[in-house]
Structure 1
Amino acid sequence: MQSSLAKRTAGVVLGAALLQLLMITAFTWPAARTAPHDVPIVVAGPGAAATAQRLEQANPGAFDIEIRSGADDARAAITDREAYGAIVATPSGPRVLTASAASPTVAQRLTALAGKLAGERQGAPAAPAAPVQDVVAADPDDPRGSGLATLVLPLVMSSLAAAVLLTFAIPSPAWRAAGTLLFALVGGLGVAGVAYGWLSLVPGPYLLVAGVVAATVLAVTGGVAGLAAALGRPGLGLGAITFMLIGNPISGVTTAPEMLPEPWGAIGQLLPPGAAGTFMRSAVFFDGAGAGAPLAVLLGWAAVGFVLLGVGAVRANKREPAREREPVPA
Structure 2
Amino acid sequence: MGGAGGRRGHGPSGLRLAVVIASALAVVQLVVVIAFSWPNARSAPHDVPVVIAGRSQAAATVADHMAKAKPGAFDTTTVRGEDEAREALLDRDAYAAVVADPAGPKVLVSSAASAAVTAAFTQIAAEIEERSGKPVTVEDVRPAPEKDPRGAAFASSLLPLVLTGMIGGILIALKVTGLRDRLVAATAFAVVAGLCTTAVVHGWIGALDGDYLAEAPAVVLIVFALTVTLAGLGSALGHRGIGLGVITVLLLGNPLSGVSTAPEMLPEPWGALGQLLPPGAGASLLRSAGFFDGAGAAGPLTVLLTWAALGLVLLWVANARARGAKRLTAVG
Secondary structure in structure 2 of the residue aligned to 1:41 = strand
Stretch of structure 1 that moved more, 88-97 or 77-86: 88-97
Question: Which of residues 128, 137, 161 in structure 2 aligns to 1:131?
Answer: 137
C-alpha deviation, 1:207, in angstroms = 2.2
Q: Which runs of 5+ in 1 are unaligned?
A: 123-127
Cα distance in 2 for partners of 1:282, 1:198 equals 20
For residues 229 and 135 of structure 2, what CA distance do their matches in structure 1 show? 48
- The one-letter amino acid of 2:97's match is A
SS where residue 39 of structure 2 aligns?
helix
TM-score under structure 1 length normalisation:
0.94
What is the CA distance between 1:129 and its match in structure 2?
6.8
Q: Which residue of 2 aligns with 1:71?
A: 82
Q: Is the 8 A contact 1:174 1:310 kept in 2?
A: no
Identity between Structure 1 and Structure 2 (%): 46
| Residue 28 of structure 1: aligned partner | 37
Candidates 164, 187, 195, aligned match of 1:189: 195
Partner of 1:117: 128
Per the alignment, residue 50 of structure 2 pairs with 41
Q: Deviations over 1:268-314 (max 9, x none)?
A: 00001100111011112111111000001011101100110000000
Structure 1 residue 5, shift from structure 2 partner? 1.2
Distance 1:30 1:264 in 2: 8
Q: Closer, same or farther in 2 for the Cα pair 1:274/1:129, shift >3 Å?
A: farther
Spell out the pairing of 1:202-213 with structure 2 (5 A cutoff): 202-213=208-219
Quick one: which of 97, 100, 106 aligns to 1:89? 100
- d(CA) in 2 for partners of 1:321 and 1:42? 63
Contact 1:174 1:309 in 2 (8 A): no
Tell me if the contact between 2:285 and 2:297 (Cα under 8 Å) persists in the aligned partners.
yes
Check the 8 A contact 1:78/1:85 in 2, yes or no: yes
Report the Cα distance in structure 2 between the residues aligned to 1:51 and 1:207, rounded to whole angstroms. 41
Q: Are the counterparts in 1 of residues 47 and 264 from structure 2 also a CA contact under 8 Å?
A: yes
Question: What is the DSSP-based 3-state SS (H/G/I as helix, E as strand, rest coil) of the residue aligned with 2:108?
Answer: strand
After TM superposition, give the deviation of residue 107 of structure 1 in Å: 0.8
Q: For this pair of structures, how many residues does the alignment match? A: 321
- Counterpart of 1:136, as a letter, is R
Deviation at 1:90, TM superposition (A): 2.1
1:216 to 222, 231, 243: 222
Query: Quick check: 1:324 aligned with 2:322?
Result: no
Name which of structure 1's ranges 75-84 and 198-207 shifts more when overlaid on structure 2: 198-207
Kept in 2: contact 1:173–1:229 (CA 8 A): no
Q: Which amino acid aligns with 1:149?
A: A
1:14-55 per-position Cα deviation (integer Å, ceiling 9, x unaligned): 110110110011011101100000000011124111111111
Which amino acid counterpart does residue 88 of structure 1 have in structure 2? Answer: V
Match of 1:256 in 2: 262
Spell out, residue by residue over 1:151-182, the C-alpha distance to the aligned partner (whole angstroms, 9 max, x if none). 11110001111112212221334311221111
Structure-1 separation of matches of 2:128 and 2:103: 12
Pair 1:305 & 2:316 matched: no
- CA distance in 2: counterparts of 1:147 and 1:189, whole angstroms: 18
1:272 matched residue in structure 2:
278
- The runs of 5 or more residues in structure 2 that have no matched partner are 1-9
Q: Judge which range, 161-170 or 234-243, deviates more.
A: 161-170
**Partner of 1:14 in structure 2?**
23
